[in-house]
Structure 1
Amino acid sequence: MSSTNVPPRPKKGADVPTKLSSVLDCKQGAVRAVRFNVDGNYCLTCGSDKTLKLWNPVRRILLKTYTGHGYEVLDADGSCDNSQLVSCGMDKAVIVWDVSAGTTARVFRGHAGTVNCVRFNEDSSVVVSGGLDGQVKCWDVKSRRMEPIQTLEECKDSVTALDMSDHEILVGSADGKVRRYDLRNGQLMTDYIGTAITSVSFTHDGQCVLVSSNGESVKLLDKSSGEMLSEYQGHINKNYRIEAVLNNTDHCVLSGSENGFVYIWDLVEGTLLHKLDHSDPVKKVEPEPTASSTGSLVPDAWTSNRPSQSVVHSLTFHPKNIELLTAVKGKVFRWTNDLAQDEG
């Protein structure tokens, strides 16, 4: 990454979320994905019970439930102005929701199988979806057109992950390749990783790409050359689609794992900074105001009879603050950093 674009590095560990602040029982079966909205004030949870839920993660209050999918909801994203949501799932549908009304604004059907991932573009005029059929489809949200405005068919296997910049689509596939479509120049760049891709994302400065794949490493690639700049190891990612993300300052890499931990590495040095344990009983969780009856609080402890290993498969980092949300089975964990708050 270019040193001119990287913000000054804080004291090591100062921007790492290490404290478990709360646990939320989402009551929607297994939580397939958790996502912050664009400003980080709210979060979305995708459930195996066919629902999409909007939460205030700090107060642990359910704001709205969106029902309309015919099967499990697998991914979701919020628009740039917070007026719309988009979700996808195993019913092959891509649904655009009106946030305040809680109703469906558009339902796009065109994928031949499960839709694994979905994202809005920068101005939320286009929705991009990737499916089990190996296709990436672009949908016009502003017009009344129901057919995709473009279909990308280069993937030879299921599309497992997506990310967007202002002019690029980043695609991860089970065929072991990461494809970057430059919409301005009409170019396709491909990097071969070798094993099924589980998550992809641009760094905040737009210079690099973070790639997680089945195996035991997360890789940081130079976007232009495809050169591997760093590799992060220690977590377990063999049987599930495990996500990896960057923190809000591009200083840390965070990945879920199949052994009940989130691993946090220093981006530049590649050293392990911390592990967030989701397996051992929680000694203390700060009490919060009572949530509505549709949400469930876990005030002082998780449970003492938890399984020894829980897969941490989905995670999302706050766009501005040192705050991480992680999903394990039917619950979402919220992690913060007291050190950074005290020093600030």
Structure 2
Amino acid sequence: MSFPDKPVAQLLGSNGPVHAVTYSAGSGTYILTGSSDRSIRLYNPQPTTGTLGTSAKAKDSGFITSSTTRTPAIPEGRLIQTYAEHGYEVLSLACATDNARFVSSGGDRTVFLWDVTTAQTLRRFGGSSTGGGRVNCVTFAGDGDSLVVSGGFDTVVRVWDTRGTSTKPLQSFSEARDAISAIVVMGSEVIAASVDGRVRTYDVRTGKQTTDVISGSAGVTSLSLTRDGRSLLVGALDSKLRLLDRENGTCLRTYSSDVDETTTTQDVPFPVWRNEELRVQSLIGGRERFVVAGDEMGTATNDGAIKPSKNATPDGRVWAWDLLTGRVAATVTVPWGPPGAATSSRSIGRDGREKERRNVTSCLAWQDGGWGDQFCVGGTSGVVTVFGPR
């Protein structure tokens, strides 16, 4: 299988950066997105027409200007539904296995359980019960997706019962010393990443807890499990991805740029991958052949270097490594948006100068839990790009 690097659709409509993307469960192709404009959107990435072109809809959106007549473009996916209850940015999304429900969390300290068809919230978890910070991550757990697990700024992992009426969590785990940044579930085990540089695994049945120290100073920001649950991909703020053996905690493989750690982005004439400041997602995809990650650099130049210059474009990138060898398999350009989008999106700061445009590609999702034929990526441009095979 070659890496699917062809842009096959773009999902438009967000009025701010996209922080979360997820596919419908199983082999479904619907995509949910959550953004800083407090809205969740459901898309069918299959376009209604061959290309976006210069349709009236595109012109009205401000993405196409009169100077871009007849410019070919990536097809536009179809917006199916918008869900609006959040009072702050949406940071995490997860679909139930029956695709009838999904959960979301964000800056309003609340976890929302949604009915997909009616666009209404079925339950709300948290609020004052989640301390004083945003909820960074949420996922389903338990038989029949009867549980929801959340974690956030207040350092606590909470397990909620979707079938009961209690407003209090069933269980809480408070061992972390910094914000919870990512959560994955495997059977009775809840695996939580923290900015304190640790990955903690909780067995909710036995109460057993294990801790893996990933980095003493760099926070852990991303988790992805292999389908058999034996290996765990961990992303940290030291510009490294690590594949861990869950049985003994050993590092099986490390993924990073093919440059020395002391090399700066100004020292090399080719792109490097860095993740040192932002929560950039990584995952295992391509039927467990690839390790894939976003890129916080977010600025490319015409000569391929990363150092910003007057020739810089706001395109972002996605990196892919061969899971077994650790070698870079592909670097894929993620366009800012349809033709004219980069120009129309310019903004001026309080000092009267144009702000730097950075297409940070921070959130990823792969169809069918990494086993499908396509993946999607979102970030600061507000546009989600879907990639498929050529």
Amino acid at match of 1:317: W
Of 98, 111, 116, 2:136 maps to 116
Deviates more, 1:41-50 or 1:171-180: 41-50
Deviates more, 1:305-314 or 1:234-243: 305-314
1:141 correspondence with 2:179? no
Partner in structure 2 of residue 11 of structure 1: none
Counterpart secondary structure, 2:123:
strand
Of 43, 57, 61, 1:55 maps to 43
Deviates more, 1:19-28 or 1:205-214: 19-28
Partner in structure 1 of residue 334 of structure 2: 278
CA drift at 1:303: 4.7
Partner in structure 2 of residue 258 of structure 1: 296
Partner in structure 2 of residue 94 of structure 1: 111
Q: CA, structure 1 residues 184+217, in 2 after alignment: closer, same or farther (shift >3 Å)?
A: same
CA drift at 1:26: 2.9
CA drift at 1:274: 0.4
Partner in structure 2 of residue 291 of structure 1: none
TM-score, normalization by structure 2: 0.75
Compare the two structures and name the one with the higher strand fraction: 1
Matched residues in 1 for 2:42 and 2:102: separation?
A: 10
Matched residues in 1 for 2:318 and 2:157: separation?
A: 29
Partner in structure 2 of residue 74 of structure 1: 91
Matched residues in 2 for 1:22 and 1:61: separation?
A: 9
Counterpart secondary structure, 1:32:
strand
Partner in structure 2 of residue 290 of structure 1: none
Amino acid at match of 1:325: C
Matched residues in 2 for 1:302 and 1:263: separation?
A: 25
1:230 correspondence with 2:250? no
CA drift at 1:132: 0.3
Of 364, 370, 386, 1:315 maps to 364
CA drift at 1:302: 6.7
Tell me the matched-pair count. Answer: 307
Partner in structure 1 of residue 198 of structure 2: 177
Contact 1:170 1:201 in 2 (8 A): no
Partner in structure 2 of residue 206 of structure 1: 229
Matched residues in 1 for 2:33 and 2:340: separation?
A: 19
Matched residues in 2 for 1:27 and 1:313: separation?
A: 15
Q: Map Cα deviations across residues 199-239 of structure 1 (whole Å, 9 max, x no partner).
A: 01211121101000102110000001110000000221111
Counterpart secondary structure, 2:318:
strand
| Unaligned segments of structure 1, at least 5 residues | 1-13, 283-297, 339-344
Q: RMSD of the TM alignment (CA)?
A: 1.7
CA drift at 1:278: 2.1
Matched residues in 2 for 1:22 and 1:186: separation?
A: 45
Contact 1:26 1:332 in 2 (8 A): no
Partner in structure 2 of residue 27 of structure 1: 14
Counterpart secondary structure, 1:170:
strand
Of 284, 302, 321, 1:246 maps to 284
Q: Identity of aligned pairs, percent?
A: 33
| Unaligned segments of structure 2, at least 5 residues | 48-76, 258-272, 298-315, 346-355
Of 6, 10, 30, 1:42 maps to 30
Structure 1 ranges of 4+ moved more than 6 A: none
CA drift at 1:308: 7.1
Q: Map Cα deviations across residues 86-127 of structure 1 (whole Å, 9 max, x no partner).
A: 100101001101111111100112111110000001531000
CA drift at 1:193: 1.1
Matched residues in 2 for 1:232 and 1:129: separation?
A: 28
Amino acid at match of 1:25: L
CA drift at 1:16: 1.3
Higher radius of gyration, 1 or 2: 2
Matched residues in 2 for 1:35 and 1:245: separation?
A: 12
Matched residues in 2 for 1:92 and 1:81: separation?
A: 26
Compare the two structures and name the one with the higher helix fraction: 2
Matched residues in 1 for 2:342 and 2:213: separation?
A: 44
Contact 1:77 1:119 in 2 (8 A): yes
TM-score, normalization by structure 1: 0.85
1:217 correspondence with 2:240? yes
Amino acid at match of 1:265: W
CA drift at 1:184: 4.0
Matched residues in 2 for 1:308 and 1:62: separation?
A: 26
Amino acid at match of 1:70: G
Counterpart secondary structure, 1:237:
coil
Counterpart secondary structure, 1:62:
strand
Matched residues in 2 for 1:337 and 1:325: separation?
A: 12
Matched residues in 2 for 1:103 and 1:72: separation?
A: 18
Contact 2:11 2:78 in 1 (8 A): no
Matched residues in 2 for 1:205 and 1:73: separation?
A: 30
